[in-house]
Amino acid sequence: MPADHSAHRKRIKEQCLQSGLKSFPAHNKLEILLFHSIPRKDTNPVAHALIERFGSLSAVFDAPYGELLKVPEIGEASAFLIKLIPQLAAAYMEDKTGGKTVILDSPEKAGKFLIPKFLGKTNECVFAAALDSQKRLLSCQQVFEGGISSVDISVRKIAELCLRVSAVSVIVAHNHPNGIAVPSKEDLYSSGRITLALEMLGVEVVDHMIVVDDDYCALGTCRQFAQSVWGGDFSF
């Protein structure tokens, strides 16, 4: 007869409700999540196996669906549940600002708003936040998704978004999966190309942000850094 883990699960759930998940180590967080897809079994060993295979809690959530299925005891229900968590987190963060006037008049505000858009994104993605003359958000949309290490930013899609909502300015943001929040020379080139193209339409690119996890770099504030790294080669 299988062991009864109900008492252990009840104790863990009560502890979670009292003190929150923050006090739990990574494998325990996964153990609790897997309660809901692996009934009547000890989920602690498979939680450890997930951390050992992928290296960290965030890496487990970012792992491809097919790779999760290769872990013993992880079936379709568990893999689906794991992949759902980053999407729910992103939806939660986006809903927090739902119905409110969002003003993105500083890199700090833009970073706080845009970082959640990239939760769970394992490919390079581009978002464009179209603004009015008061820097109020008119629309924010994903305009491109590329491969794991490169992205071709579509000027046309950004321009179409800005024209559709009559934007005066726009903030462009893309992520560096598994990288650092420092612009590459290609990022600077893309920023210049977008700036020149949208200027012809009367739309100002007020910033181009590089997002990595909960960190970001705003190209609108790092011109001096780029000049020092590339010897002043910052011409658009």
Per DSSP bridges, beta strands 169-175 and 204-212 are parallel
Residue 233 has pLDDT above 60, yes or no: no
Which of 61-75, 156-170, 197-211, 216-230 is predicted least confidently?
216-230
What is the structure's pLDDT at 206?
92
Comparing 233 with 135, the larger pLDDT belongs to: 135
State both tokens at 122: 């394992």
Domains and CATH numbers, the chain: 6-90 (1.10.150), 97-229 (3.40.140.10)
Alpha helices in the chain (DSSP H): 6-19, 26-34, 44-54, 57-62, 65-68, 76-95, 107-114, 155-164, 185-199, 223-229
CA distances from 44 to 29, 39, 111, 157 (A): 10, 12, 36, 46
The pLDDT assigned to 3 comes to 57
| Nearest in space to 66 (alpha carbons), one of 51, 52, 55, 82 | 82
pLDDT digits (tens, 9 = 90+) for 143-154: 988 765 555 567
Sign of the Cα torsion 33, 38, 43, 48 reads negative
How much is the pLDDT for 222? 47
- 85, pLDDT greater than 70: yes
The answer to whether 129 touches 117, Cβ cutoff 8 Å, is no
Distance CA 147, CA 140 (A): 21
How many C-beta neighbours within 10 Å does residue 31 have?
23
71 CB-near residues (< 8 Å, 6+ apart): 46, 49, 50, 53
Alpha carbon distances (Å) from 174 to 66, 141, 222: 25, 12, 16
For residue 210, the tally of other CB atoms under 10 A from its CB is: 22
Say how many Å lie between the first and final Cα of the chain, rounded. Answer: 71
Q: Is 198 helix (H, G, I), strand (E, B) or coil?
A: helix
pLDDT tens-digit profile of 8-39? 888 888 888 888 888 888 999 999 999 999 98
Tens digits of residue pLDDT in 166-191: 999 999 999 998 778 888 888 888 88
β 204-212/125-131 pair status: unpaired
Integer Cα distance of 162 and 169 in angstroms = 8
pLDDT, one tens digit per residue, over 96-128 is 766 578 899 999 999 999 998 988 888 889 999
